Amino acid sequence: MRTAIVTGASRGIGAAASLELSALGYAVAVNFKDNAEKAFETVSKIRALGGVAEAFKADVSEPDEVRRLFQSSEEALGRTEILVNNAGISKIVLLQDMGDDEISELLRVDLLGTILCSREAAKLMIPRKSGLIINIASMWGEVGASCETVYSACKAGVIGFTKALAKELGPSGIRVNCVSPGVIRTDMNSALDAETLGSLESDTPLLRLGTPKDVAKAIAFFAREDSSFITGQVLPVNGGIIV
């Protein structure tokens, strides 16, 4: 079966993207790092709707685990047609207060993880002359956020990586695009208090925060035939908060 590997699919945007891609007819490899219970919830939802899915534990920042993820997914589900590089973490802290480990963890998960997974996908997709990679950046990678400097750097890196890889893989029939969300209601923003969320909402021209489904629909756009001549692009899904 044509398969979509979605990293960080136990919760939030990744879980919603998994459901959308399943609805388009893809078998879904639901990757998670720690939260097996939530990953199996995503799998169960897909199966309840008649889709095909399996959960795969792997830390995207570990090269050996990434290699095993792709190998196990191909064995269990079949040919990898789509990779969604969604797994991510964030930290809201001043740069001078960040520890060495915190900086390194952000770089490893949010930037290195996307690069490692894309490398494995490219190895499989190039000989087949077909495939699609969708990276999840952030509006902070476009404009920068105070107290999220390293996160912003990672996401700016994801955007640069998307544009470069699209050029490298285009001749092999592989498209690489990027979805850049604004503020989305997920666990990632659970540390923000109601007042902060309220002011982000009123700063958004569409006067609401995004949902995981809003982002999943944009991911699904790239998975459709409709977008077959689009590569190397950044699609903002932010309610107009940045233009």
Does residue 3 interact with ligand NAP by CB under 6 A?
no
Does residue 34 interact with ligand NAP by CB under 6 A?
yes
Instruction: Name which of 55, 62, 118, 38 is nearest 86 in CA terms.
Output: 118
Which active-site residues does the annotation give? 151
Cα 58 to chain centroid, rounded: 15
- Minimum distance from CB of 13 to ligand NAP (Å)? 4
- CA separation, residue 131 to residues 91, 124, 170, 174 (Å): 32, 9, 10, 5
Does residue 183 interact with ligand NAP by CB under 6 A?
yes
How deeply is 99 buried, as exposed, middle or buried, from its count of CB atoms within 10 A (0-12, 13-18, 19+)?
exposed
The only residue of 51, 88, 131, 236 in contact with ligand NAP, by rule CB under 6 A: 88
As a whole number of angstroms, the distance between CA 66 and CA 156 comes to 22
Is 87 in contact with 74 (CB distance < 8 Å)?
Answer: no
Does residue 33 interact with ligand NAP by CB under 6 A?
yes
Task: With CB under 6 A as the rule, give the number of residues binding ligand NAP.
Answer: 32
The only residue of 29, 106, 136, 150 in contact with ligand NAP, by rule CB under 6 A: 136
The only residue of 52, 87, 150, 169 in contact with ligand NAP, by rule CB under 6 A: 87
**Token pair of 204, please?**
């958004």
The only residue of 3, 7, 73, 177 in contact with ligand NAP, by rule CB under 6 A: 7
Could you list the residues that contact ligand NAP (CB under 6 A)?
7-14, 31-35, 38, 59-61, 86-90, 109, 136, 138, 181, 183-184, 186-189
